Homo-oligomer: A and B are copies of this chain.
Amino acid sequence: MKLSEGVEAAIHCAATLVSVEGEGTIPGAALAGQFGLSPSYLLKHLNALTAAGILESVPGPYGGYRLALPADRISLLDIVLAVEGPEPAFRCGEIRQNGPVKLDRSAYVKPCGINAAMLRAEKAYRKALAGERLSEIVHNFMTEADPRSVAAGCAFVERHQRPQKSPKQK
C-alpha cells in the first residue's frame, strides 16, 4: 500500500496554482523548478490533472496551467484519483474460486466478504480525502505556516504568473 510519488507533486502544484489571479497561468517548467523535479516528468502528472478536468492548460507563449475549478470545489480525492487512477486499492482476485474443488458458478454469486470489508474501509478513506479541500489547505498554509515560507511561495507566483489579457506588462 503506497501512493506514487507523483501524488505529492500534483498536490503541491495544484496548491500553488490556487494563488494565481484570474486568467493567469504558470508554465509547467516553472513549477518543476520550484519543487526540484524533472520538468518532463511533472508534465505527465499535470496532464493527468488536465484530463480529469482539475486543471486547464493553455499552449503557446505566455501559456501554462491554471485551475479549471474554484479551489473549494477541488478535494484531495479528486487529485489522488486523477493521478493514481479510479480503481480501488484492493482488487479482489476471486482466489476463493481457484481451489482444486470446482463448485458451480452459482455458489459464488454472493460477493466475497473479504472484498466487501476492504472496500468498506477504502470508502472511509475516500470520504476523508474528499473532505480535505484544496482551499482549506491553502488557507491553513497562509495563516499558520512560517511567514518566510509563505512569502517565498507568493514571490514565486508573482514572478512566473502570466497574465492572459495584458501581455505588454514588463
Contacts and interface: CB of A to CB of B under 8 A. Distances in A.
A93 B9 CA distance: 9
Interface stretch (A19-27, A55-63, A125-133, A162-170): A125-133
* Most chain B CB atoms below 10 A, which of A9, A92, A106, A114: A114
Contact of A120 (B5, B35, B121, B128): B128
Interface of A: 1-5, 7-9, 11-12, 15, 33-37, 76, 80, 84, 87, 89-93, 95-96, 98-101, 103-104, 106-110, 113-114, 117-118, 120-125, 127-129, 131-132, 137, 140-141, 144-146, 148-149, 152, 155-156
Contact of A91 (B2, B89, B90, B125): B2
Question: So how many copies of this chain end up in the complex?
Answer: 2
**Chain A interface helix/strand/loop/mixed:** helix
B98 A36 contact: yes
B113 A137 contact: yes
